[in-house]
Amino acid sequence: MNLRIFARISPLALVSAIVLTLCSLSDCYDPMDPNGNITVTFDIYKWTTDGYMVRVTIQNYHQYRHIEKPGWKLGWTWARDEVIWSMSGAFAAQQGNCSSFKFQIPHSCKKNPVILDLIPDASPENRSEDCCHGGLLSAWAIDPSKSFSSFEIQVGNLEGSSTGHAPLNLTLMAPGPGYTCGPLVNTDPTVSSDIGGRREVQVFRTWKSTCIYSSFLANKAPVCCVSLSTFYNPRITSCPTCSCGCKDAGPNTSFCISEGTALPQSDALSDTDVVQCTNHNCPVRVHWHLKNNYLDHWRVKLTVSNYNYKRNYSSWNVLVQHPGFGQSVITYSFNSSILPTVGLEDEVALFWGIDYYNTELLQADKDQLGSVTTEILLKKDMESFTLSNGWAFPRRIYFNGESCQMPLPDNFPVLPNGSLSLNPSPHLFLLLTVTLTLKLVNSWF
Ligand SMILES: *[C@@H]1O[C@H](CO)[C@@H](O)[C@H](O)[C@H]1NC(C)=O
Ligand SMILES: *[C@@H]1O[C@H](CO)[C@@H](O)[C@H](O)[C@H]1NC(C)=O
Ligand SMILES: *[C@@H]1O[C@H](CO)[C@@H](O)[C@H](O)[C@H]1NC(C)=O
Ligand SMILES: *[C@@H]1O[C@H](CO)[C@@H](O)[C@H](O)[C@H]1NC(C)=O
Ligand SMILES: *[C@@H]1O[C@H](CO)[C@@H](O)[C@H](O)[C@H]1NC(C)=O
Ligand SMILES: *[C@@H]1O[C@H](CO)[C@@H](O)[C@H](O)[C@H]1NC(C)=O
Ligand SMILES: *[C@@H]1O[C@H](CO)[C@@H](O)[C@H](O)[C@H]1NC(C)=O
Ligand SMILES: *[C@@H]1O[C@H](CO)[C@@H](O)[C@H](O)[C@H]1NC(C)=O
The reply to whether 104 falls in a domain is yes
Mean pLDDT, range 298-310, rounded to an integer: 95
Rounded CA separation 369/170 (Å): 40
208 and 236 fall within a common domain: no
The reply to whether 263 falls in a domain is no
192 and 254 fall within a common domain: no
196 and 291 fall within a common domain: no
The reply to whether 17 falls in a domain is no
Residue 133 in this model has a pLDDT that exceeds 90: yes
Q: What is the 3-state secondary structure (H, E, C) of the chain?
A: CHHHHHHCCCHHHHHHHHHHCCCCHHHHCCCCCCCCCEEEEEEEEEEECCEEEEEEEEEECCCCCCECCCCCEEEEECCCCCEEEEEECEEECCCCCCCCCCCCCCCECCCCCEEEECCCCCCHHHCCCCCCCCCCECCCCCCHHHCEEEEEEEEECCCCCCCCCCCEEEEEECCCCCEEECCCEEECCCEEEEHHHCEEEECCEEEEEEEEECHHHHCCCCCEEEEEEECCCCCCECCCCCCCCCCCCCCCCCEEECCCCCCCCCHHHCCCCEEECCCCCCCEEEEEEEEEECCCEEEEEEEEEECECCCCEECCEEEEECHHHHCCEEECCCEEEEECCCCCCCCEEEEECCCCCCCEECCCCCCCCEEEEEEEEEECCCCCCCCHHHCCCCCEEEECCEECECCCHHHCCCCCCCHHHHCCCCCHHHHHHHHHHHHHHHHHC
Instruction: Kindly report, residue by residue over 329-361, the tens digit of the pLDDT.
Output: 999 999 999 998 777 888 999 999 999 999 999
157 and 231 fall within a common domain: no
Atom 12 of ligand 7, residue of closest alpha carbon = 354
Mean pLDDT, range 217-227, rounded to an integer: 87
213 and 291 fall within a common domain: no
Question: Nearest ligand, CA of residue 272?
Answer: 6
339 and 240 fall within a common domain: yes
The reply to whether 144 falls in a domain is yes
Rounded CA separation 268/253 (Å): 16
Q: What is the mean pLDDT of the chain?
A: 86
Q: What is the dihedral of CA 405, 409, 411, 412, to 10 degrees?
A: 100
Q: How far is the CA of 377 from the centre of ligand 6 (A)?
A: 32
Domain extent at residue 389: 221-258+272-416+423-437
Instruction: Kindly report, residue by residue over 223-279, the tens digit of the pLDDT.
Output: 999 999 999 999 999 999 989 887 665 555 557 887 777 776 655 555 567 888 899
The reply to whether 444 falls in a domain is no
The reply to whether 297 falls in a domain is yes
The reply to whether 175 falls in a domain is yes
The reply to whether 20 falls in a domain is no
Q: How far is the CA of 312 from the centre of ligand 6 (A)?
A: 6
Number of domains in the chain: 2
361 and 411 fall within a common domain: yes
**pTM confidence score:** 0.83
Q: How far is the CA of 126 from the centre of ligand 3 (A)?
A: 6
Rounded CA separation 352/371 (Å): 13
207 and 234 fall within a common domain: no
Q: Would you say the CB of residue 168 lies under 6 angstroms from ligand 4?
A: yes
Instruction: Kindly report, residue by residue over 14-63, the tens digit of the pLDDT.
Output: 333 333 333 444 455 788 898 899 999 999 999 999 999 999 999 999 99
Residue 404 in this model has a pLDDT that exceeds 60: yes
CATH number of the CATH domain containing 146: 2.60.40.290
Q: Would you say the CB of residue 80 lies under 6 angstroms from ligand 4?
A: no
Q: Would you say the CB of residue 35 lies under 6 angstroms from ligand 1?
A: yes
54 and 186 fall within a common domain: yes
Atom 5 of ligand 5, residue of closest alpha carbon = 252
380 and 294 fall within a common domain: yes
209 and 86 fall within a common domain: yes
In angstroms, how far is CA 330 from the centroid of its own chain? 23
161 and 199 fall within a common domain: yes
Rounded CA separation 276/400 (Å): 20
Q: What is the dihedral of CA 393, 395, 396, 397, to 10 degrees?
A: -20
